[in-house]
Amino acid sequence: MADKQRLLTERDLRSLRVFCAVAEAGGFSGAERQLNMSKASISRHVREVEERLGVRLCERGPAGFKLTTAGAVALDVSLNALRTLEKIRPEIDAVRGVLSGAVTIGMVEHVLTDPLCQLPEALAELNRRAPNIRPEILVMTHAQLNLALRERRVQLGIRGQYKKDRVFNYQPLFVENHKFYVSAQVSEAQAADMPLVHRSHPFIDEAIGANRFKRGPDAGGLEAIAVLVATGNYVGLLPEHYAGLVRKRYPLRELKASPTFHNTICAITEASRPLPASVELLLEIMRELPLSRAHEKRK
């Protein structure tokens, strides 16, 4: 019993990291490539974690890999603990006047395709000023990004500001315009009877709620909307810049009476959370980027 209550050693932490990698990779084969370790070595680390905790964490064999109930709990707790440990070095470095560690950024799809997006320029400047900072970027849906910010799995989110939520701070970056599009072969009369491709989105909900369109098939993102619009059977709401990219292969046109929806893309952080110095620096760099130059790109 006393052995099980001892403090975690460096090897224990190493084994925990291996277990997390196995669980996130969905098995030993995926983790083998990711960790550049043999299956035997990986198995030994996982077995040591199980012996340390006194429970079986996963089922492995001919039927495949599967976390046990205890394994799922251990994974969640271990990931949170390892993230906390990883914050120690950046915080100490910040006291010494050196910025280091990871900046975890969550962003919605196709932000980079907008000519006004200057995220690469901002990250390049961040690297110039603080080369020890390591950016990590995750692409997710609007809802997933909100949850990730609340759960502190990302430090900075980049998405549209459809309405303000008091738990977040918003720093405007650029404005993205959305319009209704149909296939270029579709007439205005034909388009009047076409359903609107649906996705969970404030602008689409507003259009359907105002009886401007009847609800059409569900789509999981801009790519899915564009595919359905290109069939010539549906109307779709798309950002102007993205519709311009699709037009290069599938002729689209905006509806003549289409309203323009303005979506302000923002850098979003949790309001109640003290920001690491690295995130503060990135936000400062984003504020310094000349928006006038960005708007020139749009012309």
Query: In this structure, what CATH number is given to the domain that contains residue 234?
Result: 3.40.190.290
The confidence score (pLDDT) of residue 89 equals: 59
Residue 4 domain-assigned (yes or no): no
Based on the domain organization, do 184 and 100 belong to the same domain? yes
Task: Let me know whether 70 and 112 are in one domain.
Answer: no
In terms of domains, do 46 and 116 share one?
A: no
pLDDT at 292 (0 to 100): 37
Decide if 5 is inside a domain.
no
CA 285 – CA 173 distance, rounded (Å): 11
Where is the domain boundary, 38, 62, 86?
86
The tally of domains found in the chain comes to 2
Q: What burial letters (b/e) apply to 11-30, b meaning 16+ CB within 10 Å?
A: eeeebbbbbbbbbebebbee
Q: What is the pLDDT of residue 274?
A: 81
Same structural domain, 108 and 142 = yes
pLDDT tens, per residue, the chain with 299 residues: 344 455 566 677 788 888 888 888 888 888 887 777 888 888 888 999 888 888 999 887 777 788 999 989 988 888 877 776 666 655 665 665 657 788 999 999 999 999 999 999 999 999 999 998 999 999 988 888 988 888 888 999 999 998 888 889 999 999 999 999 999 999 999 999 999 999 988 899 888 888 889 999 999 889 999 999 999 999 999 999 999 999 999 999 999 989 999 999 999 999 887 888 889 999 999 999 875 344 444 44
User: What stretches of 160-269 show up as alpha helix (H) in DSSP?
Assistant: 188-192, 202-209, 222-230, 240-247
Task: Return the pLDDT at 298.
Answer: 44
Q: Phi, psi (5° rounding) for residue 123? A: -70, -35
- How confident is the model at residue 269, as a pLDDT? 95
Please indicate, yes or no, if residue 1 is contained in any of the structural domains. no
Residue range of the domain that includes 39? 10-86
Name the CA dihedral angle for 173, 267, 200, 208, rounded to a multiple of 10 degrees. Answer: -40
- CA 161 from chain centre, in angstroms, equals 15
Q: Is the pTM of this model over 0.75?
A: no
Domain end call among 86, 114, 149: 86
The residue from 23, 51, 86 where one domain ends is 86
